[in-house]
Structure 1
Amino acid sequence: MPDTKSSQTVFPQQGAQKAGLGFPICRLLAVSCLHTGVILNAAVGPFKGKGSDEQSLLRQVLDTFQKGSIVVGDAFFGAYFLWVEMIKRGVDVFFEQHGSCKRITDFGKGMALGKKDHLIDIPKSKIKPGWMTQKAYKNAPDNIINC
């Protein structure tokens, strides 16, 4: 990014960076087609601060995904309300289980489908995310069944 005053305002440098050195830093999320490699959409945000996380950037480009799409992402995307939105859109998702959730995969719980393959019941968070309206939170299902 160009090192201009306006870029520095929107995309500030890391706090440890000495003034006058370095360049503005942004966070970039790209949606690519796994078949062709084409970038279908992208979102840019500040490196840190409110709205700079991966999920916030993904919410900016949700209209990229159509019914029947398959979304592959890392553990930062495996969140309840994102799953609910994708299910509502008819989009399948494949996300790594987030390690910080301390969720242990217990194959003795849920409905077994096969060896190390089962459905689990994921309850809705009791805490409404700050970005979500009260109406959307209320209308979200109390749980989702996921595999």
Structure 2
Amino acid sequence: MIIFGQIGEQFPVRRMEWISAGILMFLGIRLLDPAETFAQPAFRELAAIASEGTWGNLLFYCGLFRLIVLYRNGAWKPSPEIRGAFAIFGGLIFVALAYGIEVSGVASTGSITYAFLAMGEGSNIWTAAKDARVPYSERIHGKHPS
């Protein structure tokens, strides 16, 4: 129960990181299901880069590993550098999704939603970078509030 208490203390600061990780993981699951999501014009740009299955696996595993890193970060060892790298990746994915939907000519709210998620990842990058500036000894001894 101590582990969950430590995660609970960290959660308010990292709320958006947990949400972004979940979104990436479940987007991956959606792309891995049998429906042909990339058959829609809004995904033409992403389909030109890689197959739906490749994107699905990439997003699922990145989201899953990010959740594991967040759990580990909150329960045992701080890892702002890894959190920052995942936030950069997430931001790039959300920008790619927003761009792909916007240039597809499909009238969709998806481009707006993904653009704002990308901005949320910018906030996550900032938080991780701020945490990385704290000396490691202070991070592991609980002297740093976030």
TM-score range, shorter chain: under 0.3
RCO (CA 8 Å, sep 6+): is it higher in 1 or 2? 2
TM-score by length of 2: 0.24
Q: Which one has a larger percent strand, Structure 1 or Structure 2?
A: 1
TM-score by length of 1: 0.23
Q: Which one has a larger percent helix, Structure 1 or Structure 2?
A: 2
Larger Rg over CA atoms: 1
